[in-house]
Amino acid sequence: MDQMLLISILAAAVTSGTPILYAALGEILAERSGVLNLGLEGMMLVGAVSGFMAAVKTSNPWLGLMVAALAGGVLALIHAFLTINLRANQVVSGLALTIFGTGLSGFLGKPLIGIPAPQTFKPVTIPLLGKIPLLGPILFQQDYLVYLSYLLVPILWFYLYRTRPGLHLRAVGENPAAADAMGVGVFSLRYLYVAVGGMLAGIGGAYLSLAYAPTWLENMTAGRGWIAIALVIFSMWDPVRALLGSYLFGGVDALGFRIQAVGAMIPSFFLNMLPYIFTILVLILATREGSRRGAAGPGALGLPYDREER
């Protein structure tokens, strides 16, 4: 394989992995606070469609992005209300959210199908860094949202492990009763991180419709929300590992795309399947390794908290 092709595949891996990375980072925050949100796919779709709609109306992709984040956040708040206040089962509520989001986005997106985005996020070469051989064209000739995700990963990592609010976030997901007894606001923190998680999922969706595709197609996430949920487990709730996992998925995705473009004799359905199969395999291997080392998710993941419950 010549170098140009390799570079283009790796650059495409980053682009293709970015929406998953945003969604996974959001889910990491929610799950770290103890709330499992299986509504990722739905929130991404609604983010994609609402962001696209706003960008079409205003011709400003940044405004589109904000609307997408807001839409994702609002959907997540529904999940928060159901699971935190009403103590509904988190799995059921999350699944319902995905079904709802899928339907809603299809409905809202009907008139938008086939319209090209007026303004999209386009690659911008970073001065100096973009000139580095190999790494430059792979990492630093991307769009602003990719750069934003580069910043977000270390920031989140630092926030989780080196700051007081990060400590409180982990405490709430690990043992809410202990956190509560020490005066940490379990309910408000869970609300906060579920909402922020939804906003990041919305941004992930908008990345698809405003940068990756960039257009609106019904069901355009194509299961990326579920892959992101799987990646959260694979990453053991760690932002840096989530980045690696996302690019891995993106890499296989990009590779399949190239093979298809070259016109190999492999059915396209099979190639489209590849990244999902690959992710699941890696997931199985990684979690087996993880469980052997005794690493597990947040202790109270999926459990509602009630102060007066025995």
Partner 1 sequence: MKDEPNLVEMRDITKGFPGVLANDRVSFAARAGEIHALLGENGAGKSTLMSILTGLYRPDEGEIIVAGRRIELHSPRDAIRNGIGMVYQHFRLIPPFSVAENVILGLDAPRFLLNMPEIEKKVAALSESYGLRVDPKVKVWQLSVGEQQRVEIVKMLYRGARILILDEPTAVLTPQETRELFLTLRRMAGNGHAVIFITHKLHEVMEVADRITVLRGGRSVGTVEKKDTNPASLARMMVGREIPPAPSRSEGPRGEKILELQAVQAMSDKGLPALRGVSLTIRAGELLGIAGVSGNGQKELAEVVTGLRPVQAGRLYIKGKDLTNRSPKEIIEAGVSHVPEDRLGTGLIPNLGVLENVILKEYRRPPISRGPLLDRRAARERSEDLVRDFQVKVAYLDLPVKLLSGGNLQRLLLAREISAAPSLIVAVYPVRGLDIGATETVHNLLLQQKARGAAILLISEDLEEILHLSDRVAVMYEGEIQGVLPSSEARLEEIGLLMAGMKKEATTA
Ligand X SMILES: Nc1ncnc2c1ncn2[C@@H]1O[C@H](COP(=O)(O)OP(=O)(O)OP(=O)(O)O)[C@@H](O)[C@H]1O
Q: Total residues at the site for partner 1 (CB under 8 A)?
A: 23
What does 164 bind: partner 1, ligand X, none (CB cut-off 5 to 8 Å by kind)? partner 1
As measured in angstroms, the least distance from the Cβ of 189 to partner 1 is 11
The residues, any chain, with a CB within 8 Å of residue 52's CB and separated by 6 or more, are 64, 109, 112, 117, 206, 209, 210, 215, 216
As measured in angstroms, the least distance from the Cβ of 307 to ligand X is 9
State the Cα–Cα distance between residues 53 and 117, nearest whole angstrom: 9
Q: CA 263: distance to chain centroid?
A: 31
- Of 111 and 165, CB closest to partner 1: 165
> Which residues here bind ligand X, judged by CB under 6 A?
308-310
What does 123 bind: partner 1, ligand X, none (CB cut-off 5 to 8 Å by kind)? none
Interaction of residue 160 with partner 1, rule CB under 8 A: no
Interaction of residue 79 with partner 1, rule CB under 8 A: no
Q: Which of 103, 118, 154, 185 binds partner 1 (CB under 8 A)?
A: 185
Interaction of residue 188 with partner 1, rule CB under 8 A: no
Q: Print the SS3 string covering 176-197.
A: HHHHHHCCCCHHHHHHHHHHHH
The residues, any chain, with a CB within 8 Å of residue 249's CB and separated by 6 or more, are 16, 17, 20, 227, 231, 275, 278, 279
Residues found near partner 1 in the complex (CB under 8 A): 162-165, 167-168, 170-171, 174-175, 177-185, 299, 307-308, 310
